[in-house]
Amino acid sequence: MEEPGIGTSMLVPTLLECGTEALKQRFIPETLTGDIRWAQGYSEPNAGSDLASLRTRAELRNGQWHINGQKIWSTLAQHAHYMFLLARTEPDAPSKYEGISYLLVDLRQPGVRIRPLKQMTGSAEFCEVFFDDATTPADWLVGGRGEGWRVSKATLNHERSMIGGAESSVELFEKLLSLARKSNFEGVPALAHPIMRERLSVLAGEVQAHLYSSYRQLSMTAHGQNPGSITLMNKLVNTNISHKVAAIAQDLVGDAFLLAPPTGSTRGAGPEKWNLRFFASLGLTIGGGTSNIQRNIIAERGLGLPREKNV
Amino acid sequence: MNFLLSDDQQEIQEAVRRYLAKTCQSVDLHRIFDSSSGHDIALWKGLADIGVTGLALPEEAGGMGLELIDLALVAEILGAAATPGPFLGHSLAGLALAWSSNKTLARRWLPGLASGEVIGTVAFAEGASLWWPEEWQLPSAAPVLVGTKTRVPFAAAADLIVVGTSGGQLYLVERDAPGLEISEEDSVDRTRRLGRIQFHKTPASLLTAAPDVAERLCNAARVLLAADAFGGANCCLERTVDYAKTREQFGRPIGAFQGLKHQLADLAVAIEPARGLYWYAAHAFDRIPEQASPAAALAKAHLTDCYIQVSRGSVEAHGGIGYTWDCDIQIYVKRAMFDYAFLGGAPKHRARYADLAGW
Ligand SMILES: Cc1cc2nc3c(=O)[nH]c(=O)nc-3n(C[C@H](O)[C@H](O)[C@H](O)COP(=O)(O)OP(=O)(O)OC[C@H]3O[C@@H](n4cnc5c(N)ncnc54)[C@H](O)[C@@H]3O)c2cc1C
């Protein structure tokens, strides 16, 4: 649906933070121009919320990494040129977190097989990616060997701030408002109906709060101050807003709620295109770390509550 | 009302459940969901053999002569299995004929409807979320109809269409009637396909000119949708609970995490007590006429709203797999969307309830 900016919003900041000069030069310019498209290879069938239990292996032999294993839910991997992925390179490391490295891999090689998976929206926007002795140069490593977990946290933060971007919430709200402007609710113009006015205003409070909070985070960061635990909340705030938008749109689109959303471009489509957002809000709850994982992070790292054992 | 099912009622539910456990498993469901028509003739025939197609139709027409409560109990089981097919529209068309003042038409069509050999449907919606008898604008001008109906369940598979017209009248149109143009709509719920019907001076027979019959038909629809929603939500949650017991992360079943446990408990608390809401609405329909309309409106609004919450919560609890087309849960989400929006959404029904309750 929306351009995900996997390369520009996730990989580029990570390379700037942790990459070698050679990797920066090799990849950043062409990623920014859109000539190189990326996929994110973190999740595996048995390593989702518990990402650090991942099993894809990479071994260094004759100056190359040899990669074996499987990734899943990799967004738009079927159209990507490269993938940044997490693989286990230090099988003897003392903890599951310490044996992981962050590698860049060319997806266009015989050892890589990509199978698109159809989403509930009807489009195949994520994929399974199988690695059967795929190779990548020894120095396409971001951060040191066994430091992939730390590096991945950097990417995840970028991903979550991307998903948590207040502008996207504001934009979504504006679209909802223009839907409301065009719709009837209970037989009267929706914006004239007290229930709709109330529901939209409640949501407006959340959206405006999120926007000003993002301004404040930005200003603080620009002045070298740490915004604190609020940064951990952005993704959940954004996800919650998208759910409330979906719930209101559901009552604005009327009997278009019964129709399938378009699978290609939404241009010129009727109100049933909102059903896509109804589904996408669920994807948002799950992708980039589920809402429950966000809640754990907010509670434990943000509020300082005792940690759940081994999580 | 006795809030317990009779042995006969339990037996019917059990028979349908047993049949669907064999014929409507996940693979069958996905096959029909992905098929071009969404209607599986063998599945339909099997349901007809158990008596589902004529459950509430008169015995002299080959039906079982049971009440709406019995039909709703079956709707719950069909909803639990997300059963594809024309049950909803068919059941309503049958009731309309059974209640018709035109006995010749009733005698002619009821046996086929009861046996399931003739498939019926109802044409209510006229676009712009106009669904109800008092909102119908298609002119009541016998002997021909001119105008358009939308969101007609299984319009393409139906042999008989019961059409709501201005003043809350009901007409019957036969499939081969001249001037009938049917096109399929792209339904989000592929287990219950919708179509659009245009009438170009299409011959039609009046079933009833009494608006309270049409009203009663819409109440039956509300109860059946509420029952479907209850069955679907309940089953969706059951499957999610099973999944939470087996899917492991961090070395334990995800259901061991209190966060998820509480979410699933909340969904259970939302849905389980609401069973009585559709039972009561069906019972009121059968036995307490003055309560039938408010009870049906409230049950429809409340249960279909719950179904949306429960099915969405189930996707969340499944994680990535829940977001895929191949997962059964997405089919439940789409059934929930159908139950919610068909005949008008929850706000419309809640407003109606408040009015009928005399608030
Ligand atoms: C649209 C979409 C796009 C995605 N894109 C990508 C991508 O590009 N690259 C990539 O690598 N991955 C991607 N993902 C995968 C995503 O990151 C994972 O699906 C997610 O981390 C959850 O993992 P899982 O699916 O294995 O679910 P599980 O981890 O099995 O979670 C199932 C349920 O259990 C709950 N749960 C798990 N642990 C706990 C706990 N400790 N406490 C409370 N509840 C818990 C979860 O919240 C969830 O509700 C995408 C997913 C989606 C839906």
A60 falls within a domain = yes
Nearest-Cα residue of chain A relative to residue B321? A73
The answer on B183 and B267 residing in a single domain is: no
The answer on B151 and B69 residing in a single domain is: no
Regarding the beta carbon of A214 and ligand 1, being less than 6 Å apart is answered no
Q: How far is B286 from chain A (nearest CA, A)?
A: 29
For residues B185-213, one letter each, b for 16 or more C-beta atoms within 10 angstroms of the residue's C-beta and e for the rest, the string is bebbbbbbbbbbbbbeebbbbbbbbebeb
Domain that holds residue A111: 6-146
A32 falls within a domain = yes
pLDDT tens for B303-357 read 999 999 999 999 999 999 999 999 999 999 999 999 999 999 999 999 999 999 9
Q: Is A159 a catalytic residue?
A: yes
Q: What is the Å distance from ligand 1's center to A303 Cα? A: 23
Nearest-Cα residue of chain B relative to residue A118? B325
Q: What is the Å distance from ligand 1's center to B243 Cα? A: 14
Q: For chain B, state the CA radius of gyration.
A: 20
- At residue B329, the 3 state secondary structure works out as helix
The answer on B249 and B204 residing in a single domain is: no
Q: Which of A304, A305, A301, A285 is nearest to A49 (CA)?
A: A285
Indicate which CATH number applies to the domain containing A93: 2.40.110.10
Task: Report the pLDDT averaged over residues B110-119.
Answer: 98
Number of independent structural domains in chain A: 2
pLDDT tens for B163-190 read 999 999 999 999 999 999 999 999 999 9
Regarding the beta carbon of B262 and ligand 1, being less than 6 Å apart is answered no
A43 falls within a domain = yes
pLDDT tens for B4-48 read 999 999 999 999 999 999 999 999 999 999 999 999 999 999 999
The answer on A130 and A55 residing in a single domain is: yes
Whether residue B133 is preceded by a cis peptide bond, meaning omega within 30 degrees of 0, is no
Distance CA A154, CA A160 (A): 10
Q: What is the Å distance from ligand 1's center to B321 Cα? A: 9
Choose the catalytic residue: A59, A159, A174, A272. Answer: A159
CB-based contact, B315 to chain A, within 8 Å = yes
Give the DSSP per-residue string, A104-164: EEESSSTTEEEEEE-BTTSS--EEEEEEEEEEEETT-EESSTT-HHHHHHHHHHHHHHHHT
Q: 10 Å Cβ neighbour count for B356?
A: 17
The per-residue pLDDT for A162 is 60
Domain that holds residue B154: 120-209
Number of independent structural domains in chain B: 3
Residue with tokens 């019926």: B120
CB-based contact, A123 to chain B, within 8 Å = no
The answer on A220 and A125 residing in a single domain is: no
Under a CB-based contact definition with an 8 Å cutoff, are residues B116 and B54 in contact? yes
Q: Whose CA is nearest to atom 32 of ligand 1?
A: B319
The per-residue pLDDT for A3 is 52
Q: Whose CA is nearest to atom 38 of ligand 1?
A: A49
Regarding the beta carbon of A42 and ligand 1, being less than 6 Å apart is answered yes
The answer on B219 and B166 residing in a single domain is: no
Q: Which of A115, A109, A113, A102 is nearest to A135 (CA)?
A: A109
A278 falls within a domain = yes
The per-residue pLDDT for A2 is 40
Where is the domain boundary, A94, A113, A146? A146
Residue with tokens 């002619």: B108
> Which candidate from B251, B259, B351 shows the least CB-CB separation from A186?
B351
Alpha helices in B24-156 (DSSP H): 26-34, 41-50, 68-80, 87-98, 103-115
Indicate which CATH number applies to the domain containing B69: 1.10.540.10
With CB atoms and an 8 Å threshold, state whether B316 touches A254.
no
CB-based contact, B36 to chain A, within 8 Å = no
The answer on A293 and A207 residing in a single domain is: yes
Q: Which of B40, B110, B111 is nearest to B81 (CA)?
A: B40
Where is the domain boundary, A146, A175, A202? A146
Number of A/B CB contacts below 8 angstroms equals 120
Q: What is the Å distance from ligand 1's center to B270 Cα? A: 25
Chain B interface test: which of A282, A290, A295, A307 (most B C-beta within 10 Å):
A282
CB-based contact, A95 to chain B, within 8 Å = no
Where is the domain boundary, B159, B190, B209? B209
Q: Across chain B, what does the average pLDDT equal?
A: 97
Confidence grade of residue B141 (pLDDT, cut at 50, 70, 90): confident
The per-residue pLDDT for A155 is 72
The per-residue pLDDT for A255 is 95
With CB atoms and an 8 Å threshold, state whether B345 touches A120.
no
Distance CA B139, CA B145 (A): 7
- Res B109 pLDDT > 60: yes
C-alpha to C-alpha distances, A63 to A55, A83, A102, A139, nearest whole angstrom: 22, 19, 16, 9
The answer on A86 and A11 residing in a single domain is: yes
Q: Which residues of chain A have pLDDT under 70?
A: 1-4, 158-164
pLDDT tens for A256-302 read 999 999 988 877 789 999 999 999 999 999 999 999 999 999 999 99
pLDDT tens for B264-289 read 999 999 999 999 999 999 999 999 99
